Structures are given as structure tokens and as C-alpha cells.
């Protein structure tokens, strides 16, 4: 069983944590933010993003987000991009970070195998690959990503996976793979059960019943399913909350009962959830969703909402099998599941959901990860980064 944050046991290791990520810290608040914010309670954390190319000078932008947590953005001039190999510039800028911030004893945390192009020569005390998605299956994935992941798996001391399906896919490729499915900040989303203030302005005038989704809207969303259900139930209102990424706005189904409300902050989500009658996960069944373990599943449940999802493997097991989430695939099945969700007994659902979620907090996930890292660190001390 995972240990709570107050039971973090190996508190003697002192190190900085350098994370190399393909995600932006300020984009969507999800797994990296939950975990690394907790690491920052005990360690300096440097979250290194992919570069931004601009007209100005090449420089490193280091800015604090929370106590002990710094977002690092390489800003590379268009001139450097045109005249130099970008990974060489990134390697130099990473060395600059280590020198300017006096990073000597450190753990190296990867979210993207592509960072191996400029970080392979670093010598941390421990290397962690937190594999939260099968990135090679995503739209516009670099062709060299698979080879880079192979190299990263050879370098890594620990591999964490964002779900059980990913664990099963990776466990034969490394001797120390651990499954850490999506966890929950229950107190944050439970606010949706008792919010009494005025609804968000862009949602308050929309009629009920409301069926909502929040998250990135990209190739993982079954737009045809959304369109089909919306056309068959014009009296239902569909809330689509989140940024549109990697697909064209022109690809989105447009109907009077589908409402695209744009991206919202993590802090705003409970207020939107509070006004929904059913929470949705209309994911497409394709290569990009084969291994996903949606963080929103426990978040919807903590908010007290009935949930309807397509048969994503890590949703079917355990949520569908436990009766916590309605599973449906076709438009007609989705409609039937939503109708059932609209009529179910809320009290029974809350009791069952709360019992399940009580064993599934981000504090517990962080604690177990932190102990594994400390147990892995060589007792003779930390290694230094190569200059």
C-alpha cells in the first residue's frame, strides 16, 4: 500500500531534482505539477521545458512558480536555430543552468525521451523516467522517439508508468518498472459538491441537462461520437472545457448544444463541474489512447458526478468493473449510459466513490515514489554533473 506524505521514510537524501519535460508547466495542471510540487516541499526542483524560439537573444529564463520550484525555459534566437544544431544549444544551456544554480547533487527526471538528445551525458545520482503516455503513438511524434526511449530505458534507474496498461507494456523492458496510475487531490474536487456561489459566467445561462468534459481537446477525443450523441439528443447540452491542440478548430463538430468554453485553470474546474449533471470521457479508441489513464476519472468522481466513458482500458479496469463509471462505445450506447447516469442514486455513488478514492491520493503516490528514489541513491553519495 502507498504511504502518506507524513510517512515519507527516507528523509536523509539531499538532492536537487531536474525535470526535462515536453509539457509546459503553465499549460494544463496535471500529473507533473501534482508530483513535482510535492517534491519541492523537500528539494529544489527545476522544471526544464522545451525551447521557445524568438527574435531576441538566446538566454535561459528561470522563474519561480512555488517555493523551491523553478520553471526553466530555454529561449533560443531564430538565428541560432538556423545556424546551429538546436540540441547543441540546449546542451550548453543545460550546463549554464547547472553552473548558475550550483546544481551538483541531483536526480534527473524525464518526461520526454527526446531530452536524451542533449542530456544523455549528465551523471545524476538517480535517473527516473516517468512514462505518463505512449508518446510515440501521438500525432506529430518525432520518428526518433522510439530509439530515444530505448536509450532512456538503458539509462534509467527507475521507470514509473501513468497507468496499468503502460506498466504492462514497459515491464519487460526494464528491471524496475512501477505502476503509478492517476491519483486524486480529493479535497480540491470535492468542492464541486457544495459550491454555492454564482456559476461561471460562460456556463450559467446554459440549460440542463449538462454533460461535460474538461481536458485537452485533440486527436484523443472521438469528435464523431460527440457529434452523433449531440445530434440525437438536441435537448442535452455538452460542455467542452479545454484548449484545442494538434487538430484544427474546423474539425470540431458545431451544433447549438455543443459549447466550447476554452481552457480553464485548475482552480476553476470545480466550479464548472458543480454545474454538470454528467461528466464525460468521450475518448476515441486509437493508438494515442491505447495506454492512457485519465487523471480526470478520479477527479470527476471526487466531484460527485456520474461518469460515462468510452472503453479505455485503464478506465474499464478498475472503474468500470467496480461500477464507478458507465462504459459505452457507440452513440446509442453512450446515450443509454448517460440516461442511466442521469437517473442513478447519487448517495450510493458517493459512498462507493469516496471509499475507492480514499486509497488513491497524490500524497500517497508521491510518498512511494520518493522512497523508491531515496532507496536507489548510491550510499557513497551523489555523482556530479559533467561540466
Question: Mean pLDDT over residues 84-109, rounded?
Answer: 96
Q: What is the pLDDT of residues 66-84, one digit of tens each?
A: 999 999 999 999 999 999 9
C-alpha distances in angstroms, 310 versus 9, 254, 314? 39, 21, 11
Q: Which residue has the cell 474499464?
A: 316
Percent of the chain at pLDDT above 70?
Answer: 94
Question: What is the pLDDT at residue 143?
Answer: 81
Looking at the predicted structure, is the pLDDT value of residue 6 above 60? no
Q: Which residue has the higher pLDDT, 249 or 141?
A: 249
Looking at the predicted structure, is the pLDDT value of residue 300 above 80? yes
- The ranges of the chain annotated as CATH 3.40.50.2000 are 5-183+361-376, 186-357
Question: Mean pLDDT over residues 124-149, rounded?
Answer: 86
Q: Which residue has the higher pLDDT, 162 or 380?
A: 162
Contact 263, 242 (CB under 8 A): yes
Question: What is the pLDDT at residue 378?
Answer: 52
Looking at the predicted structure, is the pLDDT value of residue 13 above 80? no
CA dist., res. 117 & res. 171, Å (int): 24
CATH 3.30.70.100 for the 186-357 domain, yes or no: no
Non-local (6+) Cβ contacts of 205 within 8 A are: none
pLDDT level of residue 185 (50, 70, 90 thresholds): very high
Q: What is the pLDDT of residues 195-237, one digit of tens each?
A: 877 899 999 999 999 999 999 999 999 999 999 999 999 999 9
Looking at the predicted structure, is the pLDDT value of residue 18 above 70? yes
C-alpha distances in angstroms, 146 versus 121, 138, 157? 19, 12, 19
Question: Mean pLDDT over residues 133-150, rounded?
Answer: 82
**Domain covering 5-183+361-376 in this structure, CATH number:** 3.40.50.2000
Among residues 201, 238, 204, the alpha carbon closest in space to that of 221 is found at 238
Give 165-174's long-range contacts (Cβ < 8 A, gap of 24+). 165/290, 165/291, 165/293, 165/313, 165/314, 166/131, 166/132, 166/133, 166/134, 166/291, 166/293, 169/134, 169/291, 170/131
Among the ranges given (114-128, 140-154, 346-360, 368-382), the one the predictor scored with the smallest mean pLDDT? 368-382
Looking at the predicted structure, is the pLDDT value of residue 101 above 50? yes
Q: Which residue has the higher pLDDT, 135 or 125?
A: 125
Question: Mean pLDDT over residues 242-259, rounded?
Answer: 96
Among residues 106, 108, 86, the alpha carbon closest in space to that of 21 is found at 108
Question: What is the pLDDT at residue 328?
Answer: 98
CA torsion through residues 287, 293, 295, 299, sign: positive
Question: What is the pLDDT at residue 14?
Answer: 87
Quote the pTM value: 0.85
Question: What is the pLDDT at residue 283?
Answer: 98
Looking at the predicted structure, is the pLDDT value of residue 22 above 70? yes
Question: What is the pLDDT at residue 3?
Answer: 34
CA dist., res. 263 & res. 86, Å (int): 31
Percent of the chain at pLDDT above 90?
Answer: 83
Average pLDDT, whole number, for the chain?
A: 91
Contact 246, 139 (CB under 8 A): yes
Q: What is the pLDDT of residues 164-180, one digit of tens each?
A: 999 999 999 999 999 99
Question: Mean pLDDT over residues 288-310, rounded?
Answer: 95
Looking at the predicted structure, is the pLDDT value of residue 345 above 90? no
Question: Mean pLDDT over residues 302-307, rounded?
Answer: 96
Amino acid at each position: 500500500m502507498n504511504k502518506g506524505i507524513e510517512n515519507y521514510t527516507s528523509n536523509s537524501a539531499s538532492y536537487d531534482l531536474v525535470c526535462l519535460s515536453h509539457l509546459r508547466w503553465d499549460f494544463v495542471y496535471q500529473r507533473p505539477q501534482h508530483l513535482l510540487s510535492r517534491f519541492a516541499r523537500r528539494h529544489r526542483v527545476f522544471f526544464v521545458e522545451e525551447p521557445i524560439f524568438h527574435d531576441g537573444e538566446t538566454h535561459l529564463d528561470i522563474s519561480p512558480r512555488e517555493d523551491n520550484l523553478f520553471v526553466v525555459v530555454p529561449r533560443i534566437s531564430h538565428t541560432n536555430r538556423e545556424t546551429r544544431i538546436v540540441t547543441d544549444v540546449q546542451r550548453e544551456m543545460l550546463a549554464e543552468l547547472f553552473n548558475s544554480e550550483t546544481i551538483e547533487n541531483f536526480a534527473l527526471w524525464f518526461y520526454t525521451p527526446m531530452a536524451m538528445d542533449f542530456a544523455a551525458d549528465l551523471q545524476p545520482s538517480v535517473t527516473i523516467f516517468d512514462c505518463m503516455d505512449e508518446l510515440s503513438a501521438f500525432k506529430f511524434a518525432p520518428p526518433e522517439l522510439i530509439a530515444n526511449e530505448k536509450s532512456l530505458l538503458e539509462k534509467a534507474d527507475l521507470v514509473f508508468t501513468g497507468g496499468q496498461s503502460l506498466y504492462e507494456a514497459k515491464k519487460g523492458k526494464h528491471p524496475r518498472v512501477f505502476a503509478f496510475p492517476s491519483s486524486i487531490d480529493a479535497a480540491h474536487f470535492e468542492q464541486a459538491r457544495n459550491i454555492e456561489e454564482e456559476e461561471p459566467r460562460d456556463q450559467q445561462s446554459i440549460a440542463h441537462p449538462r454533460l461535460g468534459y474538461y481536458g485537452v481537446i485533440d486527436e484523443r477525443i472521438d469528435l464523431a461520437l460527440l457529434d452523433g450523441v449531440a445530434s440525437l439528443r438536441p435537448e442535452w447540452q455538452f460542455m467542452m472545457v479545454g484548449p484545442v491542440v494538434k487538430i484544427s478548430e474546423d474539425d470540431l463538430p458545431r451544433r447549438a448544444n455543443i459549447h466550447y468554453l476554452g481552457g480553464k485553470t485548475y482552480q476553476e474546474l470545480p466550479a464548472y463541474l458543480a454545474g454538470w449533471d454528467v461528466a464525460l470521457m468521450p475518448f476515441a479508441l486509437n493508438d494515442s489512447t491505447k495506454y492512457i489513464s485519465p487523471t480526470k476519472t478520479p477527479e470527476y468522481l471526487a466531484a460527485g458526478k456520474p461518469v460515462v466513458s468510452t472503453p479505455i482500458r485503464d478506465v474499464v479496469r478498475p472503474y468500470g468493473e467496480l461500477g464507478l463509471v458507465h462504459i459505452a462505445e457507440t452513440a446509442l450506447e453512450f446515450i443509454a449510459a448517460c440516461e442511466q447516469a442521469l437517473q442513478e442514486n447519487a448517495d450510493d455513488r458517493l459512498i462507493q466513490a469516496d471509499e475507492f478514492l480514499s486509497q488513491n491520493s497524490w500524497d500517497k503516490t508521491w510518498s512511494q515514489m520518493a522512497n523508491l528514489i531515496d532507496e536507489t541513491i548510491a550510499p557513497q553519495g551523489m555523482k556530479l554533473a559533467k561540466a
